[in-house]
Amino acid sequence: MTSTWSRMTPLEPDECLRLLSSARLGRVGVCAPDGPQILPVNHAVMDGTVLFRTDVYGVLAEGTRDGGTVAFQADEIDDRLQSGWSVLVVGTAEHVEDRDEMVAAFDRLGDPWAPGTRQLVARISPARVTGRRFYRT
């Protein structure tokens, strides 16, 4: 089977972060006690880091505690322009503790995508940012 995409180009890290800023939804990958978990989140890019809100007692809260390594991925396909992109961030995660930083994050993030209370803000500090843009023509 042949791919419907005819061309792919790598993206620079700055362009990757710009694209992540435009994405409505991303996915966080963590290593949980019962195996890998990948969960959707709404997010924001601030000062070169990726922020998201989560439940204080959920899988993402546990997986982002104490500087663990996590992955964040987002992508977009534009059928009208016949192009798309995919970005992957791998880095360390921590919980935002500073009150002023948390207020700024809440303002930027808006309402969480998932239902329920999402009072914890987690930050991913990238160690590696990679991305690709795909074209059909």
Per residue of the chain (137 residues), give pLDDT as tens. Answer: 556 667 889 999 999 999 999 998 999 999 988 899 999 999 999 999 999 999 998 899 999 988 889 999 999 988 777 789 999 999 999 999 998 998 888 888 877 777 777 889 999 999 999 999 998 76
Counting the structural domains of the chain, the total is 1
Residue 135 covered by a domain = no
pTM, two decimals, is: 0.89
Give the span between the Cα atoms of 75 and 67, in whole angstroms: 25
Residue 6 covered by a domain = no
State the residue for tokens 């204080």. 56
Give the span between the Cα atoms of 35 and 89, in whole angstroms: 20
DSSP letter (8 states) at residue 114: S
Q: Which two tokens stand for residue 88?
A: 């992957």
Helix (H, G, I), strand (E, B) or coil at 35: strand
Residue 3 covered by a domain = no
> The CATH number of the domain where 38 resides is what?
2.30.110.10
Give the span between the Cα atoms of 91 and 71, in whole angstroms: 7
Smallest CA-to-CA distance from 133 within 8, 5, 3, 6 is with: 8
Residue 2 covered by a domain = no
Structural domain of residue 44, as residue ranges? 11-130
Q: 112 Cβ partners below 8 Å, 6+ apart? A: 41, 42, 53, 54, 118
Smallest CA-to-CA distance from 131 within 47, 50, 23, 12 is with: 12
- What does R_g of the chain's alpha carbons equal in angstroms? 16
Give the span between the Cα atoms of 136 and 3, in whole angstroms: 9
Residue 1 covered by a domain = no
